[in-house]
Amino acid sequence: MKALVLAPFTPEALARLKAMLPVTYESWTDTRRLMDPDELARRIQAEGYSIVVVEADFLPAEVFQSAVGGALRLVGVCRSRLDHVDVEAATRHGVAVVNTPGRNAQAVAELTIGLMLALARRLCTLDAYVKEGRWQNPVEPYLHMGGSELAGKTLGILGLGRVGRRVARLAQAFDMRVLAYDPPLASMLSPAAQGSGYRLQATDYSPKPEAWSLGRSGSVSSLPGGQVDGLEDVRFMANLPELVSQCDYLSIHVPDIQQTEGLLGRDVLALAKPGCRLINTGSYRAVEEAVLVEALQQKRLAGAAFDVFETHPIMPDSPLLRLDNVVLTPHVGGATLETVARHSHMMVEDIGRFLQGLRPRHLVNPGSWGSGG
């Protein structure tokens, strides 16, 4: 067996993998491009790769179809989401698929808190003020550029997946009051927990697999044994309007899928407190852009920060670019050295198990695994 690795790996992880089998390493961070699916299919066939590891490269059904009768047995995806990989096609052709759930959760959570601080303390405005030479009077910044503290403010979290849970814990370290709403979790709680502002307890969970129609990796559905995962001090809201109406900050952490589209529409955003700030490092489609822009222009929302957009990069005519109360970052929530180290380690561990004939820990298509696995 041999492997083709197109995802970035740490030198340590790459050395461990090379000790297991021959490896061709062509990370997209080195080549500065994603491999065309047709090219990838040809190389898998021509060079006889049994294992292919990607991060953002697309693997449509044609890649797996072309591998029929070939060596391909395992695809590793260094992400949580799998919307760029045709998992059903992989399963049909007996190719196991593993991913790296939670690999960037800490990074995205920390960026979320950073964006909250940027809005609260007007960091981007202050940075430009100094660098552009406008700081001529030592008193003026105190008169016109003061900010606010996070302590004592109420944070509303929409979505309690891996990122949302980490954001909750970090916000509590800033002495924020944390409220949360998660659609699948709402249907999973016991009847006693359905009331407004309920404090989550481990005994509230009654897992219902059918409730997870959002189908995301890393949601509360993954909590083992109904554990609350350190969220005992988070107040769970009965519905989304109730959450929005109480927030000083609203942070979005639902997955970017069809079921979350338009969750924050005009009627819901109209309930936001004056001065509320919105942070979105989760799902662009959860917010109706026209409604959001209108609320920001009219200052009904004090500000917003985005790391996710309809297109990457953002369209040059996006109205968000013209708003002075908006902070934008170029979809870098998971772009940390630690994220790469984490997914490298997880992937090497699962490849090692696969080579030993053991079922990978993060196998996403059990139907591909033989009865002897």
Q: What is the CATH number of the domain that holds 67?
A: 3.40.50.720
Q: Which of the two residues, 340 and 187, has the higher pLDDT score?
A: 340
Query: Based on the domain organization, do 202 and 99 belong to the same domain?
Result: no
Q: How confident is the model at residue 188 (pLDDT cuts 50, 70, 90)?
A: low
Domain encompassing residue 277: 105-328
* pLDDT exceeds cutoff 50 at 222: no
Q: How much of the chain exceeds pLDDT 90, in percent?
A: 76
Tell me the residue ranges of DSSP E strands in the chain: 3-5, 23-25, 51-54, 74-77, 96-99, 154-158, 177-181, 198-199, 235-236, 249-252, 276-280, 301-306, 326-328
3-state secondary structure of 12: helix
Query: Based on the domain organization, do 184 and 208 belong to the same domain?
Result: yes
pLDDT score, position 185:
75
pLDDT score, position 217:
32
Q: Does a structural domain hold residue 314? A: yes
Q: Does a structural domain hold residue 163? A: yes
Q: Does a structural domain hold residue 373? A: no
Average pLDDT for 192-215: 44
Query: Based on the domain organization, do 273 and 152 belong to the same domain?
Result: yes
pTM of the model: 0.89
Query: Based on the domain organization, do 306 and 174 belong to the same domain?
Result: yes
* pLDDT exceeds cutoff 70 at 237: yes
Q: Does a structural domain hold residue 17? A: yes
Q: Does a structural domain hold residue 81? A: yes
* pLDDT exceeds cutoff 70 at 191: no
pLDDT score, position 187:
65
Query: Based on the domain organization, do 25 and 87 belong to the same domain?
Result: yes
Q: Does a structural domain hold residue 191? A: yes
* pLDDT exceeds cutoff 70 at 3: yes
Query: Based on the domain organization, do 85 and 162 belong to the same domain?
Result: no
Query: Based on the domain organization, do 238 and 119 belong to the same domain?
Result: yes
Query: Based on the domain organization, do 227 and 185 belong to the same domain?
Result: yes
* pLDDT exceeds cutoff 50 at 18: yes
Average pLDDT for 101-120: 97
Q: Does a structural domain hold residue 62? A: yes
Query: Based on the domain organization, do 249 and 270 belong to the same domain?
Result: yes
Q: Name residue, tokens 């016109």.
A: 144
The answer to whether the beta carbons of residues 43 and 71 sit under 8 Å apart is no
* pLDDT exceeds cutoff 90 at 272: yes
Query: Based on the domain organization, do 42 and 184 belong to the same domain?
Result: no
Q: Name the DSSP class of 264.
A: B
Q: Does a structural domain hold residue 372? A: no
Where are the alpha helices (H) located in 237-369, listed in sequence order?
240-244, 266-269, 289-297, 337-355
pLDDT score, position 216:
34
Query: Based on the domain organization, do 55 and 13 belong to the same domain?
Result: yes
Query: Based on the domain organization, do 147 and 73 belong to the same domain?
Result: no
pLDDT score, position 200:
56
* Number of C-beta neighbours around residue 161 at 10 A: 27
Count: domains in the chain: 2
